[in-house]
Amino acid sequence: MSTEHFTLTMIREFDAPREKVFEAWMNPDLLTQWFGPVDVDAPREKIIIEPRVGGAWQVVMGWTDENGRQEAPIEAVIKELDAPALLVSTAKAAPDADHEFEEMRLEFEDLNGRTRMHLTQSPFASEDWVEMTREGWGTSFDKLDELLA
């Protein structure tokens, strides 16, 4: 296995106050409406968010393909929380990853009523995983954009 790791960084702007963007990450009733790439859902009954350091941030992404219903659980723990400016979580890595945990850092910058969100996620085992994840986040954030409008 390779020991080289890759990092995903993305910046996205939303036409909504950062409190509202932050809440979309922390409120299960909102998260269920946008989380996951196109054709992927995040059922409300499978979301657990405990908004505190050490609390759970868990989502199950689901989709249907030729093999039937598939699910991918995200079991994260909140490591840093400074609402509405910062959310850092650590999740169990995919079973075939060469590392145990992946960190996701979200910084929410106030732009006078708009929000610039900085996402950093790592480690990834390859540039392909980074690009696949970037595409998935991109379509998720398109759905978030619609929700915030």
CATH number at residue 85: 3.30.530.20
Q: Report how many domains make up the chain.
A: 1
Residue range 15-35, pLDDT digits in tens: 999 999 999 999 999 999 999
Tell whether 10 is covered by a domain: yes
Domain-embedded: residue 1: no
77 contacts 55 by C-beta, under 8 angstroms:
yes
pLDDT tens column, 55-104: 999 999 999 999 999 999 999 999 999 999 999 999 987 766 667 789 99
In a domain? residue 20: yes
| Three-state DSSP state, 143 | helix
Strand, helix or coil for residue 32 = helix
33 lies in some domain: yes
Write out the two tokens for 89: 């979580």
Beta-carbon count within 10 A of 66 CB = 5
Return the number of other C-beta atoms located less than 10 Å from residue 73's C-beta.
13
**Beta strands per DSSP E along 15-126:** 48-49, 56-65, 68-82, 86-92, 101-111, 114-124
Candidates 46, 4, 10; CA nearest to 144 is 10
| Full residue range of the structural domain in which residue 96 is found | 6-148
Encoding tokens for residue 80? 């840093």
- pTM, rounded to two decimals: 0.92
